[in-house]
């Protein structure tokens, strides 16, 4: 807590949509631009470009998810026909707040980037990786605004600055069109990419009813379908994911088809009435709560706010079979 009794990273202020463009600078590589167009909870487009040429991309819409395939005849290849969390979206503010609580990060300053005030938090690892404590030689300085959006990222490895991302454009109230979420042009290798992607099928009511756990979500949230993902036909174990939405906010409930996590992760442990001890994790891009219920059923709740996820965990219950 701060001297005034407020957390250094307060809960994220709600944000339904945003556009942010970063300039990415890495020693030994050409500079590039990284654009995130997000309309929560399901619409997202991430493109990394050098000049006008896209070399990395992902897209999500109500019709599924896509991957951008670079090369001689570049374009978009569909991976799934199921909705998923918006491509390119993250909740860095929530992730850093939890890292601070677990003493894996510390506030090191305040800045103004792209016209927005942001708080600089130092952690030991970059976004979307296991949170670790920073050292003098290895750390990542992340500047986040009141909505939890990262505006600057300075990653240092062994005392050398390895990457800088700084927002050159930031719009917290953008206007998007249907074309924003259109996966055009299509990749000539789309069929090959789809054949190598994990097997993903929509979960209907019957499929959801066969899962080990059900969730009575927090007030305001409602179920809006989900999917089952299997890495390949030769791998029997897979994950089911159910979506619960409240406006732009999304809680994902993930269940494994095998009992319990193979390697339980370390994290902050909290007792939840009726459920037992759960573990809170962050990879700095989001937060999650993992629960192991009596009988071996395992669940992970992911979202943008730890307290909301703990409230959701209280609604977990075994299904009758």
CATH code given to domain 198-318: 3.30.200
The tokens 């957390």 sit on which residue? Answer: 7
d(CA 65, CA 44): 9
In the chain, % of residues over pLDDT 70: 92
The tokens 């990262």 sit on which residue? Answer: 150
Asked whether the beta carbons of 157 and 313 are under 8 A apart, the reply is: no
- pLDDT for position 175: 97
DSSP 95: H
pLDDT above 80 (res 201): yes
Q: What's the mean pLDDT in 307-316?
A: 95
- pLDDT for position 79: 93
Please tell me which residue, 195 or 69, carries the higher pLDDT value.
Answer: 69
Average pLDDT score over the chain: 91
Asked whether the beta carbons of 284 and 127 are under 8 A apart, the reply is: yes
What strands, in cross-sheet order, belong to the sheet with 150-157? 75-80, 64-69, 53-61, 43-50, 32-39, 17-25, 160-171, 150-157, 139-144, 116-123, 105-113
Burial class from Cβ neighbours inside 10 Å (0-12, 13-18, 19+) for residue 16 reads middle
- Look at the domain 17-171 and name its fold: outer membrane lipoprotein receptor (LolB), chain A (2.50.20)
pLDDT above 80 (res 233): no
d(CA 105, CA 111): 17
The tokens 């296991």 sit on which residue? Answer: 130
List alpha helices for the chain, DSSP H: 92-101, 190-196, 205-209, 306-313
Tokens of 300: 């992970």
Question: pTM of this prediction?
Answer: 0.91
Using 50, 70 and 90 to split pLDDT, how confident is the model at 312? very high
- pLDDT for position 266: 79
* Domain map (residue ranges) of the chain: 17-171, 198-318
d(CA 54, CA 22): 14
pLDDT above 90 (res 134): yes
pLDDT above 50 (res 262): no
d(CA 141, CA 126): 9
């Amino acid at each position: 807590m701060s001297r005034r009794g407020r957390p250094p990273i307060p809960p994220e202020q709600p944000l339904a949509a945003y556009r942010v463009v970063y300039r990415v600078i890495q020693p030994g590589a050409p500079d590039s631009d990284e654009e995130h167009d997000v309309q929560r909870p399901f619409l997202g487009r991430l493109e990394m470009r050098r000049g006008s040429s896209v070399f990395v991309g992902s897209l999500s819409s109500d019709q599924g998810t896509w991957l951008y395939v670079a090369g001689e005849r570049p374009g978009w290849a569909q991976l799934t026909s199921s909705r998923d969390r918006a491509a390119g979206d993250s909740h860095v503010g929530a992730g850093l707040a939890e890292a601070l609580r677990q003493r894996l990060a510390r506030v090191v300053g305040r800045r103004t980037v792209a016209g927005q005030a942001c708080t600089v938090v130092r952690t030991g690892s970059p976004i979307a990786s296991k949170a670790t404590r920073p050292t003098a030689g290895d750390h990542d300085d992340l500047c986040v605004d009141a909505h939890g959006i990262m505006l600057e990222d300075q990653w240092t490895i062994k005392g050398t600055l390895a990457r800088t991302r700084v927002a050159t454009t930031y719009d917290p109230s953008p206007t998007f069109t249907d074309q924003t979420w259109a996966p055009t042009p299509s990749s000539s290798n789309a069929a090959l990419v789809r054949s190598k992607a994990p097997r993903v099928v929509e979960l209907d009511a019957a499929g959801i009813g066969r899962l080990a756990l059900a969730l009575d979500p927090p007030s305001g949230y409602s179920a809006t379908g989900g999917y089952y993902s299997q890495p390949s036909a030769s791998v029997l174990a897979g994950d089911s994911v159910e979506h619960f939405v409240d406006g732009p906010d999304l809680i994902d409930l993930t269940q494994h088809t095998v009992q319990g996590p193979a390697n339980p992760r370390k994290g902050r442990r909290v007792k939840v009435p009726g459920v037992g001890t759960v573990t809170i994790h962050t990879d700095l891009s989001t937060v999650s709560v993992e629960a192991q219920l009596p009988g071996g059923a395992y669940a992970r709740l992911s979202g943008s706010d730890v307290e909301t996820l703990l409230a959701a965990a209280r609604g977990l219950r075994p299904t009758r079979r």
